[in-house]
Chains A and B, each alone.
Chain A
Amino acid sequence: MEMAGTKSRLTWAVNLAVGFLVLLWIIPTFGLLVSSFRDRDAISTSGWWTALSASERNVIVRADAPDNAAPDGAGWVLSGSVFEGGSGNVTAFGIASRAPEAFAPGEVATHPKGHQITVEANGDYRIAYSEQPSGSRGQRLFVRAETPPGFTLDNYREVLFAEGMGKALLNTLTVTIPATIIPILVAAFAAYALAWMEMPGRALLIAGIVGLLVVPLQVAFIPLLKLHNNIGIGKGYIGIWLAHTGFGLPLAVFLLRNYMAGLPGEIIESARVDGASDFAIFRKIILPLSFPALASFAIFQFLWVWNDLLVAKVFLGTGEDQVVMTGRIVDLLGSRGGDWEILAASAFVSIAVPIAVFFSLQRYLVRGLLAGSVKGG
């Protein structure tokens, strides 16, 4: 018998190890998510992890010019805020660079020249003079301030409306929807024939499709670009729909055939005996029963087309009306590598849709993966 103590210690270790692994795997994406909500300055001056907690920093501000002091009772007073429109929490202040944190908020600091300075915790300062002061250079204030984590939606607003990512999103949708739906139908009929109809050379066709599964897409670029130019399609949506259909078909036929071949033969046989035509059997029996496999493939193809960069770069033009999201992000990476806020928000827009699909339809995705690789291929 195993001792209870060692068992629970082992469980602990396993939990801890999995926790560590999960953390390691989600931190990168989480970093991008956080970054995409930070403003430009924050992104380029501090790591995203600092945005999660209030950050303390030392700032030096210049108070208003003494010329602007207003009479107040017996003396003259200057007032304002060290945060100038922002907000924060002052934890200490000072009036000389030698002792920048000499006073607690609310305390009164007396300047060697006689005027008295106070900075409140909310950032309001007040400088009191006994005689009318003059000069255009304001008093320097050293402030240690705690600023709350600041998040903004501006990046997304800019990305979607000003940077053309909205248009790119539309282009991506334009590519993805037909390129996902059209191959399914073509593949389903072929898969049925390969699974349930007697034909010479069937085994050879199946072997051929398994072989085509791994053909590198790069093979197709030059010949097909030439072909598209020759038949007048050129670079454009029709070309990329056809290309994605072609590239997705081997997996579609393979997945669907495997699934359909596993359906109970008695149903199909008895329908045949009852005089149903193959077309009717396909439409009324096979298609509804194959829904899980159809869904698996649809998710695969959707993710693949949505995330694709290479095929889009080859088969689509470079104009505003054809550049997809991945292409635009790569351009941003190259030409404007410093615009982190734009980059982060753009990337998150482009990965949000696949992630949503992933989490809502994960079941089918897993099933498809298992069918696609454990069996045979």
Chain B
Amino acid sequence: MDQLLFAVSTIIVGVFGCVAYFYFSNILLDRIYPASGPNAGANINKSTAIRPWLFVLPALLVLTMYLVYPVVSTFFLSMRDTRGAFIGVDNYTWLAGDEKFRESLGNNLLWLVIVPAASTFFGLVAAGLTDRIKWGSIAQSLIFMPMAISFVGASVIWKFIYDYRGENQGEQIGLLNAIVEAMGGTAQTWITLPFWNNIFLMVILIWIQTGFAMVILSAALKGISEETIEAAYLDGATALQIFFKIKIPQIWGTIAVVWTTITVTVLKVFDIVFAMTNGQWGSQVLANLMYDWMFRGSPDFGRGSAIVMVIMLLVTPVMIWNISNAHKENR
């Protein structure tokens, strides 16, 4: 209980601290440059120039310390060895030759292609179908629900699906193997099956992300102007034709946004792999490899940092695309 008290008092201190900062810094500013007296005009100009910075200062400080500084720092760390000596790009050349790194990069690229594609596809199908029926919103919230579940929780859930019992261990308790056996196939240890285990891990993330894609695409579909649909309908287009030739072309922008958002999630995927295989059996990914190098028996922060920089590099195109989009919006 002491601990919760600690948490609650932190909230109070934090919240009051914030409010006090904003309140008193504003008052202080008004005292220094009073909006009356001989220099009222000049004072008002000065205080209007300074005040916004008072408002953004705490956020800027935290962002700088917790995101900007680490990017720079990690970059420099990636060029040091375990003792902190500068070794240039050695960590990167080592990475290029490391078997595990190549495996991780390959797997990450595979994740990068399959997960966003499948999630967007299923999301689109779900959005298109649920829009047409009465209980659509209930169906949507059930498909959307996995979004609320942690990757760890999802891993446990799917363990009950992928579980394998050997020949003498009684009946299958994993749903997938039970189905496979019921259809006359042979049960498999899905999680250790080289290459294919990657796909089975991806299924978990697709299961989670489809709801996200569906919600956003569904909103976009609703935003399409009725006129174009009606016109196509009157020209005799079928429901499928309307969906693929009229609706989809109008929401390309949203599809791209969904795709890239899931891409970023995929690049950082860690929990699922960590919980299901911990990178064994050829299922390693970059984020888990980095964690490995950071916390193994003899940590190598240099190599860990180099792996992070690779992830950072892969995210950069999305970052640039996002910034240019936001810039267009705000113009």
Are A373 and B257 also in contact (CB < 8 A) when A197-B55, A309-B274 are?
Answer: yes
- Residues of B near A343 (CB, < 8 A) are 156, 159
Contact A373 B173 (CB under 8 A): no
> Which residue on chain B has the smallest CB distance to residue A21?
B126
Is A375's beta carbon under 8 Å from chain B?
yes
> Which residue on chain B has the smallest CB distance to residue A199?
B52
Picked from A14, A32, A358, the residue with its CB within 8 Å of the CB of B129 is: A14
Contact A358 B147 (CB under 8 A): yes
Is B158's beta carbon under 8 Å from chain A?
yes
Are A32 and B160 also in contact (CB < 8 A) when A354-B149, A355-B148, A358-B147 are?
Answer: yes
23 contacts between A and B (CB under 8 A): A18-B126, A18-B133, A21-B126, A21-B139, A25-B143, A27-B175, A49-B178, A182-B11, A199-B56, A207-B323, A215-B315, A218-B311, A219-B70, A219-B311, A222-B308, A245-B62, A249-B66, A279-B22, A309-B275, A330-B275, A347-B157, A376-B326, A377-B322
Within 8 A of B (CB), among A39-84: 43-49
Is A319's beta carbon under 8 Å from chain B?
no
Cα A99 to Cα B270 with chains together (Å): 56
The stretch from B13-21, B88-96, B192-200 touching chain A is B13-21
> Which residue on chain A has the smallest CB distance to residue B23?
A279
What's the nearest-Cβ distance from chain A to residue B320, in Å?
8
Contact A10 B149 (CB under 8 A): no
Is B53's beta carbon under 8 Å from chain A?
yes
Contact A220 B70 (CB under 8 A): yes
Interface SS, A side: helix
- Residues of A near B126 (CB, < 8 A) are 18, 21
- Residues of B near A247 (CB, < 8 A) are 66-67
Is A268's beta carbon under 8 Å from chain B?
no
- Residues of A near B67 (CB, < 8 A) are 212, 215, 219-220, 246-247, 250
* Total contacts A-B at CB 8 Å: 340
- Besides the contacts A227-B65, A279-B26, what 12 more A-B pairs have beta carbons closer than 8 Å? A18-B129, A177-B8, A185-B18, A186-B62, A192-B55, A212-B63, A215-B315, A306-B150, A307-B153, A343-B156, A347-B156, A359-B141
Is A187's beta carbon under 8 Å from chain B?
yes
- Residues of B near A26 (CB, < 8 A) are 142, 145
- Residues of B near A46 (CB, < 8 A) are 171, 173
Within 8 A of A (CB), among B20-71: 22-23, 26, 30, 48-49, 51-53, 55-56, 58-60, 62-63, 65-71
Contact A197 B52 (CB under 8 A): yes
* Chain B interface size, under 10 / 10 to 19 / 20 to 34 / 35 or more: 35 or more
> Which residue on chain B has the smallest CB distance to residue A334?
B278
> Which residue on chain A has the smallest CB distance to residue B136?
A18
Is A233's beta carbon under 8 Å from chain B?
no
- Residues of A near B82 (CB, < 8 A) are none
- Residues of A near B3 (CB, < 8 A) are 170-171, 174, 321
Picked from A11, A177, A218, A377, the residue with its CB within 8 Å of the CB of B11 is: A177
Within 8 A of B (CB), among A120-162: none
Is A193's beta carbon under 8 Å from chain B?
yes
What's the nearest-Cβ distance from chain A to residue B239, in Å?
6
Cα A233 to Cα B193 with chains together (Å): 43
Cα A346 to Cα B63 with chains together (Å): 35
Cα A358 to Cα B210 with chains together (Å): 16
Contact B149 A29 (CB under 8 A): yes
Is A277's beta carbon under 8 Å from chain B?
yes
- Residues of A near B63 (CB, < 8 A) are 209, 212, 246, 249-250
Is B103's beta carbon under 8 Å from chain A?
no
Is A118's beta carbon under 8 Å from chain B?
no
Cα A139 to Cα B122 with chains together (Å): 60
Question: Nearest 6 CB-CB pairs, A to B?
Answer: A246-B66, A307-B150, A190-B59, A193-B55, A358-B148, A223-B73
Cα A190 to Cα B311 with chains together (Å): 29
Are A351 and B150 also in contact (CB < 8 A) when A216-B311, A217-B268, A343-B156 are?
Answer: yes
Cα A240 to Cα B144 with chains together (Å): 29
Q: Could you give, for residues 277-310 of chain B, a 1 whenever the CB lies within 8 Å of some chain A CB and a 0 otherwise? A: 0100000000100110010000001001100100
Within 8 A of A (CB), among B312-327: 312, 315, 318-319, 322-323, 325-327
Within 8 A of B (CB), among A329-353: 329-330, 333-334, 340, 343-344, 346-347, 350-351
Is A241's beta carbon under 8 Å from chain B?
yes
- Residues of B near A374 (CB, < 8 A) are 216, 219-220, 254, 257
Cα A93 to Cα B175 with chains together (Å): 32
Is A243's beta carbon under 8 Å from chain B?
yes
- Residue of A29, A177, A227, A243 with most partner-chain B CB within 10 A: A29
Contact A31 B150 (CB under 8 A): no
> Which residue on chain B has the smallest CB distance to residue A13?
B129
- Residues of B near A186 (CB, < 8 A) are 18, 58-59, 62
- Residues of B near A265 (CB, < 8 A) are none
- Residues of A near B71 (CB, < 8 A) are 215, 219
> Which residue on chain A has the smallest CB distance to residue B170?
A45
